[in-house]
Amino acid sequence: MSRHRLLRRGAVATVVRAGVARRKLHTLVLALVTLAAVTSAVVAGSLLAASAAPFDSAFARQRGAQLALRLDAGAAAPDRLAGTGRLPGVTATAGPFPSATLTPELTGHQPGPQLYLVGRPAPDGPVDDLTMVLGHWPTAPGQVVVSTSYNGPDFALGSTLTTTAGSTLTVVGLASSITGSADAWALPATVTALPDGGRQEQQLYRYTGTPDQARIDADRAALTAALPAGAALGTQSYLDAKLVADENGQSIAPFLLAFGGLGLAMSVIIVASVVSGAVSARLSRIGVLKALGFTPGQVVRAYLMQALLPAALGALLGVLAGNVLAVPLLREDQQTGAGTSLTVSWWVDALVGGGTLLVVALAALLPALRAGRLSAVAALSVGRSPRSGRGRWAHRLTARLPLPRPVRYGLAGPFARPLRSAALVAAVAAGTVAATFATGLTASANAIGGSRDVAAGYSVTVDPLVFPAGGPGQGGPGGGADPVPLDTAQEARLVAAVKAQPGTRTYFAVTGVQGQVSGVSGTVQATLYSGDSLATGPAMVAGHWLTGPGQVVAAQHFLNSTGHRLGDTLTVTAGGTSVRAVIVGTAFASGNGGMGLSADLPELQDGPTAPPVWTYQVALKPGTDQAAYLNGLNAALAPLGVSAAPRQSETPHLVLIVDAMAAMLTAMLLLVAGLGVLNAVLLDTREKVRDLGICKAVGMTPGQVIALVLTSVVGVGLVGGALGVPGGMALHALIMPMVGHGMDSPLPTVVTAVYHAPELLLLGAGGLAVTLLGAALPAGWAARARTAQALRAE
């Protein structure tokens, strides 16, 4: 082959293709490590983009209100109320709008969830533009538009909304507010004509920038101070709606970013190690190329491209895999009205893919520059073995150990190539970090999923709903019958049957109301508990669970949003009854915007306006046969038309997705770490093939050769495992507060304290297992190598 032909334009490409095709293991390792890093980073980036951009864009487009203020009508003079629009930071106001809280009447004259109605002349304005989803805006008195976020019965267009006070309104449309400023809207004259209409008002405010919780607190305090005492009845922050829209993405993205960071770290370590090993193993080839006329720049480009080609393939596959895996998470995170897309933004793919390739190029640059700086004479004259004398102190030290000679030789082996061994330790440590972090993450995710289970230990459920006309689908228009709740006398018979059934240890009942709470604008869902023994309760962040009447437990976001603290007294109003209650605990709860309350308020659970019981949860005495208990209880309940069933406890869908993704990403990173070990040990074994041939010639058996090779990675595995376990625990401790921040809540101990000594020992031993598995193939190859062939190898 002529010198001119080698130096033509395609010479570097020819060398690159040959190098990639010849070193298949190196190519596979580089592609996989890039695939793992890009996959997790694309999913994380897509969630961050989806959880922030759609809500923020919709909020700006609809001129959402950062604060909604509920006022006592007439308590503030018009000029004084107008003056709040000139407070620092306020850019626009709307109102005051008359408002009222209604209680819709359901089938059977039962009260439904309360509805906060606001009177507005038009859906648009300087603050909080409403989006009409169906129908039209009210054009006459007695017409109403219901919000798509109303947590109550579905109202069809043209249906009648009847309240427990006897008022009737005709539903003419459905609309959405980006901040959920009300449950329904009507013309101002319609609201003031209602029995309770016109007693309260709503004022909406927009502020400069994007206020955080601290600034919202300051703005709320400024509004309250600018009005007469008692005029401000409650506020609602846009952060409530933002939490609902962002919660899933903001809580999942940190752990995906952690996996992406681990993948990038392993990319740097393994790419640098692989390219450096390729340079060391191919010194003679580099010398030949330079002797034939390759410039240093051409050599550098050749080795860079040999790293970038498989990395580009891995990045492409990682982008595709990330887009596929992001879809279920984006679907879980999709929120009505926020416009969340189920596709990954193109810029996320470009940024992650391009950034990863840049990291790979930088990692490969240093060993490639080393190859470019080598002179042809030096490259041709230097062999593949380590420089003479390197690591001899380790051989002298291990020679004193009472161990077989192959074992001593293997233990000293890593010190002949300290940089390569250090890179190998780092790769094993990164894999162990991933496994440790994933173990803790999975335990935390499952703890989060079960943290809202208020009935742990209760194994039987009684549903107190009766289907008329013989059961579901047997009567009513269209062949279906809506279930109706039991009346007071029937509920008393149900409770008596549960108490009298042999095997019953304790029970509690669950119901709920939507009402107004002091300090909050709009309605709040309160879940009410009663019975022999209240629910065991969710995981607590502070305080304690319900222990008696007049107590409520709130999520941390409720306290942040309203400015309340533990020990404060609230007034809860529902069904025309007002009850004072004390906040006794802060529960860890995700979902529902964090604005719900758990309460023991007997005043709201008795009387003609009391809501029907949703369910009864029953705990059995130890040793009670559940099947026999259910047969006996169902026989007693049969006259009432209700039945009992085993309690079903399902793992939330999002937790299952998190567990599956954590397992998959960890498996990928462990596989990459194992392949990194395989690559390094194979390279080291090939460098020592002549030494191994001499050992075989003087009597070393194949079994001893295997022991020598495996022993050479024992120290690497032990050190990597010992470093990886605390590293994974530290990463878990760093990431979990970010997850809590996405939920606007501190995390309880049950979510954060998830590691135990036995599993940590197993995880540490896992680093050793990965290295031994990775070294098994090169050890077998070395044991099978023929002595004569090994002695002839250079």
Q: Read out DSSP for 358-378?
A: HHHHHHHHHHHHHHHH--HHH
**In the predicted structure, residue 52 carries a pLDDT above the cut 70:** no
- Do both 366 and 402 map to the same domain? no
Q: How confident is the model at residue 790 (pLDDT cuts 50, 70, 90)?
A: low
The percent of residues above 90 in pLDDT, for the chain, comes to 1
Indicate the residue type of 472.
Answer: P
Distances (CA, A) of 627 to 7, 507, 775: 84, 18, 54
| pLDDT for 789 beyond 60 | no
Which domain-ending residue is among 607, 622, 646?
646
Pick from 438-452, 473-487, 491-505, 542-556: least confident: 473-487
Lowest mean pLDDT among 106-110, 575-579, 660-664, 697-701: 106-110
Alpha carbons within 13 angstroms on the beta-carbon side of residue 72 total 12
Q: Give domain status of residue 228, yes or no.
A: no
Are 39 and 121 members of one domain? no
Most confident segment among 244-258, 442-456, 748-762: 748-762
Residue type, 649: S
Which pLDDT belongs to residue 476?
Answer: 35
Residue 365: both structure tokens together: 């640059």
Phi and psi for 540 in degrees, rounded to 5?
-105, 140
* Residue in the block written with tokens 């369910």: 615
Residue 618 bridge partners (DSSP): 460, 507
- Predicted pLDDT at 385: 46
pLDDT (average), residues 737-761: 80
Please tell me the least confidently modeled range out of 364-378, 527-541, 617-631, 762-776: 364-378
Distances (CA, A) of 18 to 14, 15, 313, 682: 6, 5, 17, 20
How far is the C-alpha of 216 from the C-alpha of 93, rounded, in Å? 16
* Tens of pLDDT, residues 5-38: 444 456 666 666 665 666 676 777 778 778 877 8
Q: Which residue has the tokens 């309880």?
A: 748
* Residue 667: pLDDT over 60: yes
Weakest mean pLDDT among 133-137, 167-171, 346-350 = 346-350
Do 740 and 716 belong together in one domain? yes
Axis crossing angle, helix 702-742 with helix 238-281, rounded to the nearest 10: 160
Asked whether the predicted pLDDT for residue 512 surpasses 60, the reply is yes
**Given a cut of 80, is residue 686 above it in pLDDT?**
no
- Identify the domain boundary among 623, 646, 669: 646
Question: What is the arithmetic mean of pLDDT over 419-431?
Answer: 78
- Local confidence band at 382 (pLDDT 50, 70, 90 cut-offs): low
Q: How far apart are CA 265 and CA 679, in angstroms?
A: 18
Structure tokens that stand for 44 in this block: 């994380």
pLDDT value at residue 296: 72
**pLDDT for residue 1:** 45
In contact, 297 and 212? CB cutoff 8 Å: no
Average confidence (pLDDT) over 378-382:
55
CA-to-CA dists, residue 322 to 153, 345, 645, angstroms? 38, 12, 41
The CA-CA-CA angle for residues 453, 458, 460, to 5°, reads 120
How confident is the model over 775-781, as a mean pLDDT? 77
* Position with higher pLDDT, 516 vs 570: 570
C-alpha 155/C-alpha 785 separation (Å) is 80
Residue 226 lies in a domain: no
What is the reported pLDDT for 688? 67
pLDDT at 73 > cutoff 60:
yes
Does the pLDDT of residue 335 top 50, yes or no?
Answer: no
What pLDDT, on the 0 to 100 scale, is given for residue 423? 75
- The DSSP element (H or E) to which 763 belongs, if any, is helix 757-784
pLDDT number for residue 229: 80
* Domain assignment of residue 233, yes or no: no
pLDDT above 50 (res 773) = yes
Are residues 750 and 734 located together in one domain of the fold? yes
Cis amide prior to 113 (ω within 30 degrees) = no
Which position has the token pair 């694309």? 42
Give me 343's structure tokens.
């596709």
Give the residue ranges of DSSP H helices in 162-282. Answer: 188-192, 213-226, 238-281
The Cα 348–Cα 619 span in angstroms is 50
Task: Look at residue 477 and tell me whether its pLDDT is greater than 50.
Answer: no
Provide mean pLDDT across the span 46-52: 64
The pLDDT value given to residue 698: 67
Stated as kind and residue range, the H or E segment containing 640 is: none
Half-sphere exposure of residue 494: CA atoms within 13 angstroms, side-chain side = 27
Whether 171 and 195 map to the same domain: the answer is yes
Q: Which of 180-194, 288-302, 563-577 is the most confident on average?
A: 180-194
First to last CA, the chain: 24
- The pLDDT confidence band at residue 53, using thresholds 50, 70 and 90, is low
Q: Which of 20-24, 49-53, 164-168, 390-394 has the lowest mean pLDDT?
A: 49-53
Do 141 and 246 have their domain in common? Answer: no
Mean pLDDT score, 454-477: 61
Q: How confident is the model at residue 474 (pLDDT cuts 50, 70, 90)?
A: very low
What are the beta bridge partners of residue 232?
71
User: What DSSP character marks residue 382?
Assistant: -
> What pLDDT, on the 0 to 100 scale, is given for residue 58?
75
Mean pLDDT across 406-428: 74
- Domain identity same for 253 and 378: yes
Per-residue pLDDT, 777: 79
pLDDT at 565: 84
Is the pLDDT reported for residue 479 higher than 50?
no
The answer, yes or no, to whether residue 329 has pLDDT greater than 70, is no
> Do residue 421 and residue 464 come from a single domain?
no
Q: Which of these ranges, 219-228, 230-239, 317-326, 472-481, has the smallest mean pLDDT?
A: 472-481
Domain that holds residue 85: 67-210
Give the residue from 630, 646, 662 where a domain finishes. 646
Where is average pLDDT lowest: 162-166, 564-568, 602-606? 162-166
Predicted pLDDT of residue 300: 75
CA dihedral 467→472→475→476, nearest 10 degrees, is: 80
- 704 confidence band (pLDDT: 50, 70, 90): confident
Instruction: Report yes or no on 441 lying in a domain.
Output: yes
* pLDDT number for residue 198: 61
Does some domain include residue 339? yes
For residue 587, being part of any structural domain is answered with yes
> Model-level pTM greater than 0.75?
no
Q: What is the arithmetic mean of pLDDT over 605-610?
A: 69
Average per-residue pLDDT for the chain: 76
What is the residue-wise DSSP string for 682-720?
A: HHHHHHTHHHHHHHHHTT--HHHHHHHHHHHHHHHHHHH
Evaluate whether residue 721 is within a structural domain.
yes
Verify that 398 and 338 share a domain, yes or no. Answer: no
573 and 483 fall within a common domain: yes
* Claim to verify: residue 788 and residue 771 sit in the same structural domain: yes
> Among residues of the chain, what percentage have pLDDT more than 70?
74
Residue 222 located in a structural domain: no
DSSP state of 453: -
Confidence of residue 533 (pLDDT cuts 50, 70, 90): confident
Same domain, 512 and 575: yes
- Hey, what amino acid is at 640? L
- Number of neighbouring beta carbons within 10 Å of residue 198: 18
Q: Is the pLDDT of residue 286 over 70?
A: no
Count of domains forming the chain: 4
